[in-house]
Chain A
Amino acid sequence: MAIQRPAGEFDYSYAYDMSTIRQRWQWALLLLFLAALYTLPLYASQSIVSLVNRIGISIIAVQGLNLLTGYTGQISIGQAAFMTVGGYISALLVNSLGWPFPAALLAAALGAGVIGLLFGLPSLRVKGFYLTMATLAAQFIIPWFTRQAFPEVLNGAQGVNVNVPVMFGVEFNEPGKYIYLTLTILIVTTTVAHNVSRSRLGRAFVAIRDNDLAAELLGVSLFKYKLQAFFLAAVYAGVSGSLMAHSLRHINSETFNLVDSVILLGMLVVGGLGTNLGAIFGATVVELIIEGATLSAPFFVKLFPATAAGMIQALRPLFFGFTLMLFLIFEPRGLAHRWQLFKAAWRLRPFSH
């Protein structure tokens, strides 16, 4: 090197260049936003709090799917099946064995991860469409297993009731309390997903997605990293499934079904594949739209009185379907991409006219 730089200057500048949040006002904004979320139960209605709770839990599942499908390029429609695994594991550990909730949550994460890894094995032989079919298998095998196996423990198609989590003497038995649990775990999962995506592991994932041939010739073991992606995605599903089961206080083979897997994938598309913001935007927007379907049901009932019964059930997939189609037509790269464009325009603002 021709230029002698002062010692430590590199460290400072590369670390700074690599940091995500660079300015004080950005930190302040983030903390303000989190504070607003944590104090939500103080000023928002119960139904809003429980909606935010549901959004948070969905985000976690989508974040996992994003690692697998968005970053590694392995399309999976089995994410809800691994939520089922996580939900059952933590339900049984808390209910039957009296485990403390955090330990059960961790076990749910790891247990779902291992099962996810098993269903990821076909990815070593097949790609694309065929692999997607293999992940679909999880969606049939796992619910079947919960219905048929160990009826004295899993209680067949009826499923099992799930205790509310108790920690530090607090019973998390209403949305206003549960949301603290969800938000805290969501902060952890978001941080971890971000860390994975910006490190060696994330670069290996994207290498496999963008050019698996080159990745392998440049030293990335497809075997190892595809399985790690499946494992991580299912770990996230396990956490999400456990949180959902304890919040619903019940789980059966249909709590997380094929439609949920498809919706999770749709959330990812709406938000934008392969970006961390995308998972958050996508899950939020789609959950809000599905909520909109519920809220607008009375209006549609007036419009089509003949089909009043089951209107909500009919409207949700309809709203979801339309949202997905509109996004595929107008913003196939998702909301995160739109956000990037918006930010770029904002930064150029004084010069753009």
Chain B
Amino acid sequence: MSKDPIHLNVDNISLSFGGTQALMNVSFEVERGEILAIIGPNGAGKTSTLNCISGFYRPDRGSISYEGQDITKTPTHKIARLGIARTFQNIALYTGLSTLDNLMAARHVQMRSGMLACMLYWGFAHREDIEHRRVVEEIIDFLEIEHIRKAVVGALPHGLRKRVELGRALALEPNLLLLDEPMTGMNLEEKEDMARFILDIHELKNTTIVLIEHDMGLVMDIADRIVVLDFGSKIAEGAPEEIRNNPAVIQAYLGQEY
């Protein structure tokens, strides 16, 4: 693995949908081991940026490289294999599976059992399941969701589903974690729990985290650096202190809330 301090490099990407310019020449770098927050008003292009990084959208122009490797054209399902995991703004769990199986399903890329091994099950597939179950149980302990281990996730309340989704992303043991509004729709206590989990993940595993969040107080508290998007363009980038006092940001975004 390269020791390049630049973990992810988003280089001048643009993306449009028909008439809408979702992203316009957006560039930023994410350093290894930092928490970078992306903020901006609704429709600013934050989710689109994550979608480009995780290979779901393809930028019209520009490139994205991860650990020095160009991933702009990497097939979507191979992105996870590189160590990039994410959560979704609108929770995208496997609703028919239990918490446990959602996390086990996310071990897919680490597991190797092929079709025949799965059909036979006893032996390799069974051993592999037990081995990965152990990792998954550690994540379940860490996120304090033991009590819903066997619950079907479709029926869980919003806050818990968000937490299970974080668990599913962690089950990939990512080096780069992309979180799209992980605290939206949560009450204060749930938000604080979530912030604590994010900081713990960062501290324990030194995972690089890119985070989209609306709660400015939280963002200022947990982010090392902040990128501000507005109408598809980057209007500012810097440490929380600089962003707080940046006039362009205040006008575009903070002004409305402060």
Contacts and interface: CB of A to CB of B under 8 A. Distances in A.
Interface size grouping (class) on chain A: 20 to 34
Interface in A226-244: 228, 232
A226 B113 CA distance: 16
A218 B121 contact: no
A200 interface: yes
B76 A216 contact: yes
B55 A217 contact: yes
Contact of B118 (A10, A195, A207): A195
Interface string A141-157: 00000000000000000
**B interface majority secondary structure:** helix
A200 B119 contact: no
A181 interface: no
A199 interface: yes
A332 to B, nearest CB: 14
B115 A228 contact: yes
Interface size grouping (class) on chain B: 35 or more
Contacts of B138: 1
A206 interface: yes
Interface string B112-127: 0111011111000110
Given A195-B118, A199-B118, A219-B81, A214 B101 contact: no
Nearest to B138: A1
A199 B168 contact: no
Contacts of A214: 88, 92-94
A158 interface: no
Contacts of B119: 192, 195-196, 201
A206 B115 contact: no
Interface string B181-223: 0000000000000000000000000000000000000000000
A120 B95 CA distance: 25
B118 A218 contact: no
B139 interface: no
**A interface majority secondary structure:** helix
B134 interface: yes
Interface in B23-81: 54-56, 75-81
A315 interface: no
B77 A219 contact: yes
Nearest to A204: B108
B104 interface: yes
Nearest to B110: A219
B77 A195 contact: no
B97 interface: yes
For the complex of A and B, 4 pairs with smallest distance between CB atoms:
A219-B80, A195-B121, A219-B109, A199-B118
15 contacts: A14-B134, A14-B137, A196-B119, A198-B129, A199-B117, A201-B114, A204-B105, A207-B105, A209-B96, A211-B94, A214-B94, A215-B105, A217-B86, A218-B85, A274-B96
